[in-house]
Copies of this chain bind each other. A is one copy, B any other.
Amino acid sequence: MIMFQNDYVEGAHPAVLKKLVDTNMEQSVGYGEDPYCEKARARIREAIGREDADVHFLVGGTQTNLTVISAALRPHQGALCAETGHIHVHETGSVEACGHKVLAMPGQEGKITAKQVNKAYESHWTDGAREHMVQPKLVYISHPTELGTLYTKQELMDLRNVCDACGLYLFLDGARLAYGLAADGTDVTLHDLAVLTDAFYIGGTKVGALFGECVVINHPAMKEDFRYLMKQKGGMLAKGRLLGLQFQAMFENDLYMEMGRHADRLAMKLKKGLLEKGYHFYIDSITNQQFVIVEDQKLQELEQQFVFNHEMRYDENHMVIRICTSWATKEENLEKLLAAF
Protein backbone atom coordinates (compact mmCIF):
# COMPACT_ATOMS: atom_id res chain seq x y z
CA MET A 1 0.00 0.00 0.00
CA ILE A 2 1.18 3.47 -0.83
CA MET A 3 0.04 6.04 1.70
CA PHE A 4 -1.33 9.41 0.68
CA GLN A 5 -3.65 9.98 3.62
CA ASN A 6 -1.50 12.56 5.32
CA ASP A 7 1.90 14.20 5.31
CA TYR A 8 3.48 12.45 8.26
CA VAL A 9 3.67 8.80 7.27
CA GLU A 10 7.47 8.77 6.89
CA GLY A 11 10.19 9.66 9.39
CA ALA A 12 12.51 12.63 8.89
CA HIS A 13 14.29 14.12 5.91
CA PRO A 14 17.69 12.40 5.64
CA ALA A 15 19.54 15.67 6.28
CA VAL A 16 17.55 16.14 9.45
CA LEU A 17 18.09 12.60 10.62
CA LYS A 18 21.80 12.84 9.85
CA LYS A 19 22.10 15.75 12.25
CA LEU A 20 20.58 13.66 15.01
CA VAL A 21 22.78 10.70 14.28
CA ASP A 22 25.98 12.74 14.01
CA THR A 23 25.51 14.41 17.36
CA ASN A 24 23.94 11.47 19.16
CA MET A 25 26.64 10.78 21.71
CA GLU A 26 27.55 14.39 22.37
CA GLN A 27 26.60 15.78 25.74
CA SER A 28 24.49 18.89 26.15
CA VAL A 29 22.32 20.63 28.71
CA GLY A 30 18.62 20.02 28.51
CA TYR A 31 15.32 21.83 28.06
CA GLY A 32 16.24 23.82 24.97
CA GLU A 33 19.12 25.74 26.48
CA ASP A 34 21.84 23.95 24.50
CA PRO A 35 23.99 25.41 21.72
CA TYR A 36 22.03 23.64 18.97
CA CYS A 37 18.81 25.27 20.00
CA GLU A 38 20.64 28.57 20.22
CA LYS A 39 21.93 28.19 16.68
CA ALA A 40 18.54 27.13 15.42
CA ARG A 41 16.99 30.16 17.08
CA ALA A 42 19.49 32.44 15.42
CA ARG A 43 18.81 30.87 12.07
CA ILE A 44 15.06 31.17 12.47
CA ARG A 45 15.32 34.80 13.51
CA GLU A 46 17.37 35.44 10.41
CA ALA A 47 14.94 33.57 8.19
CA ILE A 48 11.96 35.56 9.48
CA GLY A 49 13.88 38.82 9.54
CA ARG A 50 13.13 39.65 13.14
CA GLU A 51 15.83 39.77 15.76
CA ASP A 52 13.48 40.58 18.60
CA ALA A 53 11.29 37.50 18.23
CA ASP A 54 11.25 34.80 20.88
CA VAL A 55 11.74 31.36 19.39
CA HIS A 56 10.74 28.15 21.18
CA PHE A 57 10.64 24.54 20.14
CA LEU A 58 7.80 22.21 21.07
CA VAL A 59 7.08 18.63 20.18
CA GLY A 60 3.69 18.69 18.47
CA GLY A 61 0.89 20.85 17.14
CA THR A 62 -1.85 20.37 19.73
CA GLN A 63 0.65 21.08 22.48
CA THR A 64 1.82 24.18 20.68
CA ASN A 65 -1.66 25.53 20.12
CA LEU A 66 -2.78 25.01 23.69
CA THR A 67 0.40 26.46 25.16
CA VAL A 68 0.35 29.59 23.03
CA ILE A 69 -3.34 30.19 23.65
CA SER A 70 -2.91 29.62 27.40
CA ALA A 71 -0.11 32.13 27.40
CA ALA A 72 -2.26 34.76 25.74
CA LEU A 73 -5.63 34.60 27.43
CA ARG A 74 -7.18 35.38 30.78
CA PRO A 75 -9.86 32.94 31.99
CA HIS A 76 -12.86 34.76 30.53
CA GLN A 77 -11.33 35.20 27.10
CA GLY A 78 -11.69 32.99 24.05
CA ALA A 79 -10.20 32.29 20.66
CA LEU A 80 -12.02 33.19 17.46
CA CYS A 81 -11.50 30.65 14.70
CA ALA A 82 -13.08 29.06 11.66
CA GLU A 83 -15.49 26.20 12.25
CA THR A 84 -12.99 24.01 10.46
CA GLY A 85 -10.13 25.22 12.67
CA HIS A 86 -7.97 22.44 14.08
CA ILE A 87 -8.36 23.67 17.65
CA HIS A 88 -12.14 23.54 17.27
CA VAL A 89 -12.42 20.16 15.62
CA HIS A 90 -9.46 17.89 16.07
CA GLU A 91 -7.66 18.53 19.32
CA THR A 92 -10.06 16.83 21.75
CA GLY A 93 -11.01 20.09 23.35
CA SER A 94 -7.48 20.91 24.44
CA VAL A 95 -8.15 24.64 24.49
CA GLU A 96 -11.28 24.14 26.58
CA ALA A 97 -9.28 21.85 28.87
CA CYS A 98 -7.15 24.94 29.53
CA GLY A 99 -10.33 26.80 30.38
CA HIS A 100 -11.00 28.77 27.20
CA LYS A 101 -13.91 28.68 24.82
CA VAL A 102 -13.21 28.38 21.13
CA LEU A 103 -15.48 30.88 19.43
CA ALA A 104 -16.09 29.22 16.08
CA MET A 105 -17.28 31.20 13.06
CA PRO A 106 -18.31 29.93 9.61
CA GLY A 107 -15.23 29.81 7.40
CA GLN A 108 -14.87 30.52 3.72
CA GLU A 109 -12.96 27.49 2.47
CA GLY A 110 -11.31 27.26 5.86
CA LYS A 111 -10.53 30.95 6.19
CA ILE A 112 -12.03 33.74 8.24
CA THR A 113 -12.07 37.39 7.29
CA ALA A 114 -11.14 40.63 8.99
CA LYS A 115 -14.76 41.64 8.57
CA GLN A 116 -15.98 38.61 10.49
CA VAL A 117 -13.49 39.28 13.25
CA ASN A 118 -14.57 42.87 13.45
CA LYS A 119 -18.20 41.87 13.59
CA ALA A 120 -17.57 39.38 16.38
CA TYR A 121 -15.69 42.06 18.27
CA GLU A 122 -18.34 44.72 17.73
CA SER A 123 -21.14 42.37 18.57
CA HIS A 124 -19.46 41.49 21.84
CA TRP A 125 -18.60 44.97 22.96
CA THR A 126 -21.93 46.54 22.03
CA ASP A 127 -23.91 43.87 23.87
CA GLY A 128 -25.17 45.07 27.22
CA ALA A 129 -24.86 41.50 28.51
CA ARG A 130 -21.29 41.04 27.31
CA GLU A 131 -20.03 40.18 30.77
CA HIS A 132 -22.18 37.08 30.47
CA MET A 133 -20.34 36.05 27.32
CA VAL A 134 -16.83 34.92 26.52
CA GLN A 135 -14.71 37.87 25.46
CA PRO A 136 -12.98 37.38 22.10
CA LYS A 137 -9.29 38.12 22.56
CA LEU A 138 -7.30 36.00 20.11
CA VAL A 139 -7.76 35.15 16.46
CA TYR A 140 -6.57 31.69 15.47
CA ILE A 141 -5.94 31.03 11.79
CA SER A 142 -4.23 28.17 9.97
CA HIS A 143 -2.02 28.78 6.96
CA PRO A 144 -2.41 26.62 4.92
CA THR A 145 -5.85 25.96 6.34
CA GLU A 146 -7.20 22.52 7.10
CA LEU A 147 -8.65 22.65 3.57
CA GLY A 148 -5.36 23.43 1.89
CA THR A 149 -6.24 27.05 1.13
CA LEU A 150 -4.06 30.07 1.76
CA TYR A 151 -4.57 33.59 2.99
CA THR A 152 -3.36 36.34 0.67
CA LYS A 153 -1.01 38.96 2.01
CA GLN A 154 -3.85 41.47 1.81
CA GLU A 155 -6.12 39.23 3.86
CA LEU A 156 -3.44 38.85 6.50
CA MET A 157 -2.85 42.60 6.57
CA ASP A 158 -6.57 43.14 7.01
CA LEU A 159 -6.62 40.68 9.89
CA ARG A 160 -3.61 42.44 11.42
CA ASN A 161 -5.36 45.77 11.15
CA VAL A 162 -8.55 44.58 12.71
CA CYS A 163 -6.60 42.90 15.51
CA ASP A 164 -4.73 46.12 16.16
CA ALA A 165 -7.93 48.12 16.15
CA CYS A 166 -9.66 45.68 18.51
CA GLY A 167 -6.80 44.75 20.80
CA LEU A 168 -6.81 41.12 19.70
CA TYR A 169 -3.89 38.74 19.32
CA LEU A 170 -3.32 37.14 15.93
CA PHE A 171 -1.96 33.60 16.13
CA LEU A 172 -1.17 31.58 13.02
CA ASP A 173 -0.98 27.79 13.06
CA GLY A 174 1.68 26.87 10.53
CA ALA A 175 1.64 23.09 10.93
CA ARG A 176 2.05 22.88 7.13
CA LEU A 177 3.74 26.21 6.66
CA ALA A 178 6.33 25.12 4.08
CA TYR A 179 3.59 23.90 1.80
CA GLY A 180 1.96 27.30 2.04
CA LEU A 181 5.07 29.42 1.61
CA ALA A 182 6.27 27.37 -1.36
CA ALA A 183 2.97 27.32 -3.21
CA ASP A 184 3.02 28.69 -6.72
CA GLY A 185 0.59 31.56 -6.46
CA THR A 186 1.01 32.74 -2.88
CA ASP A 187 2.29 36.22 -2.12
CA VAL A 188 2.91 35.53 1.56
CA THR A 189 6.46 35.17 2.85
CA LEU A 190 7.98 34.17 6.15
CA HIS A 191 8.93 37.80 6.67
CA ASP A 192 5.29 38.78 6.28
CA LEU A 193 4.20 36.37 8.99
CA ALA A 194 6.80 37.72 11.37
CA VAL A 195 5.48 41.22 10.81
CA LEU A 196 1.77 40.48 10.69
CA THR A 197 1.20 38.00 13.51
CA ASP A 198 1.65 38.17 17.26
CA ALA A 199 2.73 34.56 17.25
CA PHE A 200 2.94 31.80 14.68
CA TYR A 201 4.56 28.45 14.38
CA ILE A 202 6.67 26.80 11.75
CA GLY A 203 5.58 23.21 11.45
CA GLY A 204 8.19 20.50 11.49
CA THR A 205 6.23 17.30 12.07
CA LYS A 206 4.51 17.53 8.69
CA VAL A 207 7.50 18.97 6.87
CA GLY A 208 10.55 16.84 7.26
CA ALA A 209 11.20 16.62 11.00
CA LEU A 210 10.75 13.50 13.07
CA PHE A 211 8.64 15.77 15.21
CA GLY A 212 8.74 19.37 16.35
CA GLU A 213 7.15 22.76 15.91
CA CYS A 214 8.91 26.08 16.17
CA VAL A 215 6.94 28.85 17.85
CA VAL A 216 7.80 32.44 17.03
CA ILE A 217 6.42 35.01 19.46
CA ASN A 218 6.42 38.66 18.55
CA HIS A 219 4.09 40.14 21.12
CA PRO A 220 5.76 41.08 24.42
CA ALA A 221 2.82 40.01 26.58
CA MET A 222 2.86 36.52 25.12
CA LYS A 223 6.62 36.22 25.47
CA GLU A 224 6.60 36.61 29.22
CA ASP A 225 7.27 33.39 31.10
CA PHE A 226 6.43 31.29 28.06
CA ARG A 227 8.86 28.58 29.13
CA TYR A 228 7.00 28.07 32.41
CA LEU A 229 3.91 27.33 30.38
CA MET A 230 5.79 24.98 28.07
CA LYS A 231 6.91 23.02 31.09
CA GLN A 232 3.51 23.04 32.78
CA LYS A 233 1.71 21.80 29.70
CA GLY A 234 4.20 18.99 29.19
CA GLY A 235 5.75 20.56 26.12
CA MET A 236 9.33 21.16 27.25
CA LEU A 237 11.46 18.35 25.87
CA ALA A 238 14.21 17.12 28.21
CA LYS A 239 16.62 16.56 25.34
CA GLY A 240 15.61 19.84 23.80
CA ARG A 241 18.54 19.78 21.46
CA LEU A 242 16.71 17.20 19.34
CA LEU A 243 14.37 19.98 18.30
CA GLY A 244 17.11 22.53 17.82
CA LEU A 245 19.11 20.15 15.67
CA GLN A 246 16.19 19.38 13.43
CA PHE A 247 15.23 23.00 12.86
CA GLN A 248 18.85 23.87 12.32
CA ALA A 249 18.97 21.27 9.55
CA MET A 250 15.68 22.40 8.07
CA PHE A 251 16.82 26.01 7.88
CA GLU A 252 20.10 25.14 6.24
CA ASN A 253 20.55 25.35 2.47
CA ASP A 254 16.95 26.39 1.97
CA LEU A 255 15.83 22.87 2.90
CA TYR A 256 12.53 23.89 4.49
CA MET A 257 11.37 25.70 1.37
CA GLU A 258 12.75 23.01 -0.88
CA MET A 259 10.67 20.40 0.91
CA GLY A 260 7.65 22.63 0.50
CA ARG A 261 8.27 23.11 -3.20
CA HIS A 262 8.66 19.38 -3.78
CA ALA A 263 5.33 18.53 -2.20
CA ASP A 264 3.51 21.39 -3.88
CA ARG A 265 4.93 20.56 -7.31
CA LEU A 266 3.73 16.98 -7.02
CA ALA A 267 0.34 18.12 -5.75
CA MET A 268 -0.04 20.40 -8.77
CA LYS A 269 1.02 17.58 -11.07
CA LEU A 270 -1.68 15.42 -9.52
CA LYS A 271 -4.25 18.16 -9.77
CA LYS A 272 -3.48 18.88 -13.40
CA GLY A 273 -3.60 15.19 -14.22
CA LEU A 274 -6.91 14.62 -12.49
CA LEU A 275 -8.50 17.69 -14.05
CA GLU A 276 -7.47 16.40 -17.43
CA LYS A 277 -9.11 13.10 -16.60
CA GLY A 278 -12.29 14.98 -15.78
CA TYR A 279 -12.17 14.72 -11.99
CA HIS A 280 -13.65 17.44 -9.86
CA PHE A 281 -12.17 18.93 -6.74
CA TYR A 282 -14.12 19.78 -3.63
CA ILE A 283 -11.96 22.81 -3.09
CA ASP A 284 -9.37 24.64 -5.12
CA SER A 285 -6.08 24.15 -3.28
CA ILE A 286 -2.63 25.14 -4.46
CA THR A 287 -0.87 23.37 -1.60
CA ASN A 288 -0.06 19.78 -0.76
CA GLN A 289 -3.55 18.80 0.31
CA GLN A 290 -5.91 17.98 -2.57
CA PHE A 291 -9.57 17.20 -2.03
CA VAL A 292 -10.89 15.08 -4.88
CA ILE A 293 -14.43 13.89 -5.52
CA VAL A 294 -14.33 10.21 -6.39
CA GLU A 295 -17.07 7.78 -7.31
CA ASP A 296 -17.41 5.02 -4.70
CA GLN A 297 -16.59 2.08 -6.92
CA LYS A 298 -13.54 3.79 -8.32
CA LEU A 299 -12.45 4.62 -4.80
CA GLN A 300 -12.76 1.01 -3.72
CA GLU A 301 -10.60 0.04 -6.67
CA LEU A 302 -7.97 2.66 -5.89
CA GLU A 303 -7.89 1.60 -2.27
CA GLN A 304 -6.51 -1.78 -3.26
CA GLN A 305 -3.23 0.03 -3.72
CA PHE A 306 -3.41 3.40 -2.05
CA VAL A 307 -4.49 4.87 1.26
CA PHE A 308 -6.45 8.15 1.38
CA ASN A 309 -8.31 10.10 3.97
CA HIS A 310 -12.09 10.07 3.63
CA GLU A 311 -13.12 13.63 4.25
CA MET A 312 -16.87 13.49 3.75
CA ARG A 313 -19.57 12.01 1.63
CA TYR A 314 -20.20 14.21 -1.41
CA ASP A 315 -23.41 12.59 -2.59
CA GLU A 316 -25.02 9.19 -2.68
CA ASN A 317 -22.22 7.63 -4.67
CA HIS A 318 -19.30 10.00 -4.40
CA MET A 319 -16.82 10.59 -1.64
CA VAL A 320 -14.50 13.52 -1.04
CA ILE A 321 -11.05 12.15 -0.32
CA ARG A 322 -7.93 13.97 0.78
CA ILE A 323 -4.69 13.19 -1.01
CA CYS A 324 -1.57 14.59 0.61
CA THR A 325 1.82 14.89 -0.95
CA SER A 326 4.78 15.71 1.27
CA TRP A 327 8.50 16.33 1.26
CA ALA A 328 8.84 12.53 1.13
CA THR A 329 6.47 11.67 -1.70
CA LYS A 330 8.23 9.81 -4.45
CA GLU A 331 7.49 11.01 -7.96
CA GLU A 332 7.06 7.43 -9.14
CA ASN A 333 4.39 6.80 -6.52
CA LEU A 334 2.51 9.87 -7.61
CA GLU A 335 2.70 8.70 -11.18
CA LYS A 336 1.39 5.29 -10.19
CA LEU A 337 -1.47 7.04 -8.45
CA LEU A 338 -2.27 9.21 -11.45
CA ALA A 339 -2.19 6.19 -13.68
CA ALA A 340 -4.54 4.29 -11.41
CA PHE A 341 -7.15 7.05 -11.47
Give the Cβ gap from A33 to chain B, nearest Cβ, in Å: 10
Beyond the given A5-B29, A92-B229, could you list 10 further A-B residue pairs with CB under 8 A, ordered by the A residue number? A2-B27, A20-B210, A59-B234, A76-B232, A90-B132, A91-B232, A99-B99, A211-B237, A211-B238, A211-B239
Q: Chain B contacts of A76 at CB under 8 A?
A: 92-93, 97, 225, 228-229, 231-232
A74 at the interface (CB under 8 A from B): yes
Q: Given the complex, which residues of B lie within 8 Å of A210, measured CB to CB?
A: 20, 239, 242
Choose among A5, A10, A132, A236 the residue with the greatest number of B CB atoms under 10 Å from its CB: A132
Of the residues B10, B92, B239, contact of A232 by C-beta under 8 Å: B92
Pick the contact of A99: B8, B25, B97, B134 (CB < 8 A): B97
A35 interface residue, CB < 8 Å from B?
no
Binding-face segment, A11-19, A46-54, A193-201, A294-302: A11-19
> Of the candidates B30, B135, B230, which one forms a contact with A228 in the assembled complex, judged by CB atoms under 8 Å apart?
B135
Interface residue ranges, A against B (CB under 8 Å): 1-3, 5-6, 8-12, 14, 17, 20-21, 23-31, 59-64, 66-67, 70-71, 74-76, 78, 89-94, 96-102, 129, 131-135, 205-206, 210-211, 225, 227-239, 242, 328
Q: Which of A14, A98, A131, A227 has the most CB of B within 10 A?
A: A131
CB closest chain-B residue, reference A30: B8
Q: Give how many copies assemble into the complex.
A: 4
Nearest-CB residue, chain B, relative to A6: B30
CA distance A50 to B140 in the complex (A): 41
Question: Are B234 and A93 in contact, CB atoms less than 8 angstroms apart?
Answer: no
Instruction: List the 8 shortest-distance A-B pairs measured between CB atoms, nearest first.
Output: A63-B234, A11-B24, A76-B228, A92-B232, A93-B101, A93-B134, A9-B27, A96-B101
Is there contact, CB below 8 Å, between A131 and B234? no
Say which residue of B6, B26, B132, B242 sits within 8 Å of A92 (CB atoms): B132
Shortest A25–chain B CB gap in Å is 6
Bound CA–CA A83/B71 (angstroms) = 28
Known: A133-B89, A232-B97, A242-B211. A25 touches B328 (CB 8 A): yes
In the assembly, what is the distance between CA of A63 and CA of B234, in Å?
4
Judging by beta carbons under 8 Å apart, are A25 and B10 in contact? yes
A62's nearest neighbour on chain B, judged by CB, is B234
Q: A14-B24, A25-B328, A225-B76 are in contact. Are A233 and B8 (CB under 8 A)?
A: no
| A97 CA to B78 CA, complexed, in Å | 10
In the complex, what distance in Å separates the CA atom of A23 from the CA atom of B89?
32
Please name all residues of chain B whose beta carbon is closer than 8 Å to the beta carbon of A20 when the two chains form the complex: 11, 17, 210
- Enumerate 20 A-B pairs (CB-CB under 8 Å) in ascending A order: A3-B27, A5-B29, A6-B30, A9-B27, A17-B20, A20-B210, A60-B234, A60-B238, A71-B75, A76-B229, A91-B231, A92-B229, A92-B232, A93-B134, A94-B231, A96-B99, A96-B100, A131-B225, A131-B236, A211-B239
In the complex, the answer to whether B205 meets A239 with C-beta atoms within 8 Å is yes
